[in-house]
Amino acid sequence: MAQKAEEATENYLEMINLLVAQKGFPSASDVAERMSVSKPTATNILKNLDKRGYIMYERYRVRGRGESIQMIPVRIMWRTE
């Protein structure tokens, strides 16, 4: 179960990284649309990622926290190759 949660976290971080590259500051709606989940689900996940230090979640948009949003997906890709 923990591995599924970690995999889901990785998927969200990869998608957020792509959205940040495309839009600069993606909204929870952007994340929800791309991940095919409801907006409340996306909001809860973004708040959890913020609490864990991966991103900075503000109402209506998401920002990377320093290097985290850029570096973590890179580490994920290395780990999965």
pLDDT 10s digits, 45-75: 988 988 888 888 877 666 665 544 444 444 4
Q: Which residues contact 40 (CB under 8 A, 6 or more apart)?
A: none
pLDDT 10s digits, 3-32: 788 888 889 988 988 888 887 778 888 899
CATH topology of domain 2-80: Arc Repressor Mutant, subunit A (1.10.10)
Model's pTM, two decimal places? 0.69
CB atoms within 10 A of CB 4: 8
Q: What are the domain boundaries of the chain?
A: 2-80
* Summary count for the chain: helices (H), strands (E): 4, 2
